[in-house]
Amino acid sequence: MRIGEASERSGVSARMLRHYERLGLVTPAARTQNGYRDYSATDLMRLTQIEGLRALGMSLSQVADALADATTTPDALIADLAAQAQERIDRDTALLARLRTLASVSPGDWEAALTAVRLARGLESPIAGERQRAALELGASSPATSAAHLVEALLSEETTNAAGALRWAIAQSGGGPEQLRQALGDPDPDRRLRALTAVADFPGDAATELLLELLTDPVARVRQHAALAAGARGHAAAVPELMALVTHGPRDVEAAEALAVIARAQHRETEILADLTAALDAADTTSAARGRLTQALGEFESTAATAILTGLAADKDRAVARIATYLLGRE
């Protein structure tokens, strides 16, 4: 078929067909006696492949490489294109964050704008020390950087010192704990835990309410961290999770301290001591767990706690008896 018919049937303009031929993408199968291009059904099929690959966002150079490699499979090609698209999205996301940083600065204040951008880029440095310094400088002197950018940097930060600096910067930003609400619902438990730790740095009821919402988190370590933070604020809703931590670990000492804070703040010592005693007497409580529960009683400075320890000093479990005796002697 002549170029006009090939153009009509393929939807590719005659001009583009000639361009494809110059690039070596499609070479007509033959020429007529008069020298006109003569396209075959196979040529039309190749045109369909070319247009399909271009529709996926490939350049003509990439199309040529894909068609030249007989080992390329559709799934591998799509996976590679998806990875390239994700890289572009990541670059655009970083650019968007910097543009938002600029938007938060007075348009006439270029020095402040460029400083804010420099610090924002510092948060993206592969060097932990540079990320930490950028966070500290942001928290101390640059309200221009959006809290959202600081929060996103925190959620991805794995280094302890840099994460601590970012939490401090977020606390200094003036946005309050509410700026972390969305992050507390992140599907990644590690990111939720980082957001939770930042919320715990804020005083007041608003932060406490956010912590309480995580007491029912499906991931144990998130629940435990929320309970420790809420318990340190004296909130009784954390008691069940704190009791579980004292009994099973791993952060039984911190949990016991939090239980003592709740006992004093909520006047619930009698109830909490009863819970500890019941756990000690439970048939399925292991020797190690009884030792942790006994140790927890040392956080309570009352005659009721002393009476329980006195009884435990004669416990048949020698480890429990030694702990109780030590705590009584300490008093």
Residue 92: the pLDDT is 74
d(CA 241, CA 176): 26
d(CA 225, CA 255): 10
pLDDT by 10s per residue, the chain, length 331: 778 887 888 788 888 888 888 888 887 777 776 777 778 888 888 888 888 788 777 888 888 887 777 676 777 777 877 887 788 787 777 667 656 655 655 555 655 555 556 666 666 667 777 667 766 666 666 554 557 777 888 888 888 888 888 888 888 777 789 989 999 999 999 999 999 999 999 999 999 999 999 999 999 999 999 999 999 999 999 999 999 999 998 899 999 999 999 999 989 999 999 999 999 999 999 999 999 999 999 999 899 999 999 999 999 999 999 999 999 987 5
d(CA 233, CA 217): 19
d(CA 310, CA 306): 6
CA atoms within 13 A on the CB side of 28: 19
Per the CB < 8 A criterion, the answer to whether 193 and 211 are in contact is no
Residue 144: the pLDDT is 47
- CB-based burial label for 204 (10 Å; 0-12, 13-18, 19+): exposed
Residue 192: the pLDDT is 94
d(CA 17, CA 34): 19
Per the CB < 8 A criterion, the answer to whether 132 and 161 are in contact is yes
